[in-house]
Amino acid sequence: MNLVTAYFRDLYRATISGWNRFWFTPADVATLALIRILGGAMLLYTHAVWTIGLEDFFGANSWISPEAARGLQPNDNFVWSYFWLIHSRGALWAAHIAALVVFALLTLGLFTRVMSVLALLITVAYVNRVPSAQFGLDQINVVLAMYLMIGPSGAAYSLDRLWARRREGRGAPAIVPPSVSANLAIRLMQVHMCVIYFFAGVAKQQGETWWVGDALWGAIANLEYQSLDVTWLAKWPVLLAIMTHVTVYWELSFCVLVWPRLTRPLVLALAVPLHLGIAFCMGMVTFGLVMLIGCLSFVPPALVRRLIERRDLSVDYAADQDRAGEDRLAETLPLSQVAGRRHRDARFATSRKQSG
């Protein structure tokens, strides 16, 4: 009985430890900042498009009245949108321009904390006002805006960071310290992307064409969505069937294979042709691109920094890890021991510098 009790005790401790490492380990903000730039630009573009027919969709005399729009919702008592309060043409245009300014500031990373909250509220307001025009793009926009609000998305590659370094002077660190909230935001994005792909694959099981391998042909042969003519694939039915089944298998297995380091590059590499195919062959460019932006949550921050900053960051990261390890050790050791360790480290660093 003691062995059984010890086993479950160790299993419980390992589970709790793994859970805490997954969600609450401090992480570099680089990946989250890149998603802020690309996601903010997508929010700016997709809402700027509404400018073309703003009054037709959102005005007091729009094609779908506010009352009808609320009636289209599953439960109109919980559908929030500040457009319900706008009744004049001038107020509508003022609100729309203000929304575009918010998205632009989020992309640039100025007052990012405030702009990220406003961006989420604005995105939800637009979606709820025109439910008949809503599709996957709007849903992923809301997802990205929500998680950008949780983490410090403006801590890197932003005007906020530039402003902070100017205030701190030359002594400001080149890299922002790792953040728990940055890791939490990225983890939520990752889990959400896994859920999206898994249920997309499950939903495809209800369609007979996905079982027999004809689904992709039905999509690319549909003139309503066709932007790039690839009907020549009709001469290659086996290839179409393979692509159809690979799509389903990829979506169903994404939530499993994207986590191991060995299979992650392959899974993410397959996402590129899949979503670019949707973008350029079916005319849904914004949807294909926004899904790839979501997939960026699985890209390591070190790779993001290497690609953007184009310099060797190993020394900076080693220093950050040393400081983080020292801080974690300080939480468990008595103050006298911590002071002693730091004094010895300082003497060792001094002796090395003098000998060099």
Residue spans per domain, the chain:
25-309
* Residue that the structure tokens 């986590």 belong to: 259
21-25, 112-116, 205-209: least confident range:
205-209
More confident residue, 204 or 337: 204
Tens of pLDDT, residues 300-328: 999 999 998 876 555 444 444 444 444 44
Radius of gyration of the chain (CA): 25
pLDDT at residue 331 tops 60: no
pLDDT band, very low/low/confident/very high, at 234 (cuts 50, 70, 90)? confident
Instruction: Using the predicted structure, report yes or no on whether residue 293 has a pLDDT greater than 90.
Output: yes
Tokens of 158: 């932003």
Section 196-215 average pLDDT? 91
| Span 276-299, average pLDDT | 91
pTM: 0.82
Per-range mean pLDDT, top range of 111-125, 130-144, 334-348: 111-125
Mean pLDDT, residues 173-202: 92
Average pLDDT estimate for 86-112: 96
Work out whether the CA dihedral 43, 45, 48, 49 comes out positive or negative. Answer: negative
Q: Give the pLDDT mean for 141-151.
A: 95
pLDDT band of 189, cuts 50, 70, 90:
very high
Q: What is the residue type of 23?
A: W
Report the 3 state secondary structure along the chain. Answer: CHHHHHHHHHHHHHHHHHHHHHHHCCECCHHHHHHHHHHHHHHHHHHHHHHHHHHHHHCCCCCCCHHHHHHCCCCHHHCCCHHHHCCCHHHHHHHHHHHHHHHHHHHHCCCHHHHHHHHHHHHHHHHHHCHHHCCHHHHHHHHHHHHHHHCCCCCCCCHHHHHHHHHHCCCCCCCCCCEHHHHHHHHHHHHHHHHHHHHHHHHHCCCHHHHHCCHHHHHHCCCCCCCCCCHHHHHCHHHHHHHHHHHHHHHHHHHHHCCCCCCHHHHHHHHHHHHHHHHHHCCCHHHHHHHHHHHHHHCCHHHHHHHHHCCCCHHHHHHHHHHHHHHHHHCCCCHHHHHHHHHHHHHHHHHHHHHC
Amino acid at 136: G
- Please give the residue that has the higher pLDDT: either 141 or 215: 141
Q: Is the pLDDT of residue 345 over 80?
A: no
Range with the largest mean pLDDT of 32-46, 64-78, 132-146, 336-350 = 32-46
Are the C-beta atoms of 287 and 136 separated by less than 8 Å? yes
Listed range (106-120, 136-150, 232-246) with the worst mean pLDDT: 232-246
Higher pLDDT, 74 or 38: 38
Structure confidence at residue 321 (pLDDT)? 47
CB 120 within 8 A of CB 57: no
Report how far residue 235's alpha carbon sits from residue 161's, in angstroms, rounded to the nearest whole number: 54
Q: Are 128 and 134 in contact (CB under 8 A)?
A: no
Query: pLDDT-based confidence at 64, cuts 50/70/90?
Result: confident
